[in-house]
Amino acid sequence: MAKGPAQLRLDRLLSNLGYGSRREVQQLVWAGLVTLDGEVIEDSDQRILIKPDLVTRMIVDDAPLDPPPGLALMMHKPLGVTCSHKELGPLVYKLLPERWRRRDPAISTIGRLDKDTSGLLLMTDDGALLHKIISPRSNVSKRYDVTLDRPLRGDEVELFAAGSLMLEGDDKPLLPAHLDVASDKRAFVTITEGRYHQVRRMFAAVGNHVTALHRDRVGGLALPDDLKAGEYRLLSAADLEKVLEARI
Ligand code: URA
């Protein structure tokens, strides 16, 4: 039998979304500040069906409900912010609304971009979705706009496509990658793996140095031109389908 949408008690839903402790949420409810389909909810233990349309149907303290669990978003990651505590600097999560940082399940990045890389970064609170996108079996490609310090030598297209390039310190060659040359110092590289500093190390392996790196595509999803650095947008079902289009 197909599984229906999950249900949660209202107080658990709101507290998991970061609106406060169960007690604080109860107070919001008792103050008449939570409505569903225009009706004030009286009981904080009312069971709520968790569906994406809740954002248009539930109002909390005069504002639409935050996206319910199952959230996925794209961010235009600016330079200088980090995806993990392992690097110094402000975290990408700082660019999300403060309350979203208190959600359970927490929002995490789907893969990472270096502090000095900008571009399309996906985030979700859905562990199954995260694994689906980063799983090697899904073969989701990532495209990077690369600016180089020195002119290309000329053999990079073949070398990257060969599937035999070994990066220093690795014990397995890279899978084939596609290189589109835009000029002598600029190219678009499409990879399906996500090894540590992969693109920078690929160009280091051919005696070059990456001076700017920007991801403009994940799968078939392009970073929208109108999404400025530091901005984010929820992903639609159609966007997610595009992400999972395997292509290289
Ligand atoms: N490759 C890199 O070297 N850095 C990134 O951020 C992503 C891919």
Q: pLDDT, tens digit, for every residue of 166-219?
A: 998 999 999 999 999 999 999 999 999 999 999 999 999 999 999 999 999 999
User: Which residue, 128, 120, 143, is CA-closest to 233?
Assistant: 120
Pocket test for ligand 1, best of 190, 197, 216 (most atoms within 8 A of CB): 197
pLDDT digits (tens, 9 = 90+) for 34-48: 999 999 999 999 999
Give the whole-angstrom CA distance, residue 212 versus residue 230.
17
CB distance 148 to 211 below 8 Å: yes
* Location of each CATH 3.10.290.10 domain in the chain: 7-64
- Residue 1 banded pLDDT, cuts 50, 70, 90: very low
248 has a pLDDT exceeding 80 = no
Q: Which two tokens stand for residue 121?
A: 């970064």
Give the whole-angstrom CA distance, residue 35 versus residue 152.
60
Pocket test for ligand 1, best of 200, 201, 203, 216 (most atoms within 8 A of CB): 200
Cα distances from 238 to residues 107, 217, 221, 234, in angstroms, run: 20, 15, 10, 11
Architecture of domain 7-64: Roll (3.10)
pTM given for the model: 0.94
Fold of 72-136+228-243: Alpha-Beta Plaits (3.30.70)
Dihedral in degrees, nearest 10, Cα atoms 175, 180, 182, 187: -10
CB distance 82 to 89 below 8 Å: yes
Ligand 1 site residues (CB inside 6 A) read 113-114, 117, 197-200, 213
Report which ligand 1 atom has the smallest distance to the Cα of 191: 8
Question: For this structure, is 114 an active site residue?
Answer: yes
Catalytic residue among 11, 53, 114, 226: 114
Name the residue at shortest CA distance from atom 4 of ligand 1. Answer: 197
Burial class (CB in 10 A: 0-12, 13-18, 19+), 205: middle
Name the residue at shortest CA distance from atom 2 of ligand 1. Answer: 197
* Location of each CATH 3.30.70.580 domain in the chain: 72-136+228-243
Whole-angstrom distance between the N-terminal and C-terminal Cα of the chain?
A: 37
* Location of each CATH 3.30.70.1560 domain in the chain: 141-218
Q: What is the pLDDT of residue 110?
A: 97
Spacing, Cα 200 to ligand 1 middle (Å): 6
Q: Which of the listed CATH numbers 2.40.10.120, 3.30.70.100, 3.30.70.1560, 3.30.9.10 matches domain 141-218?
A: 3.30.70.1560
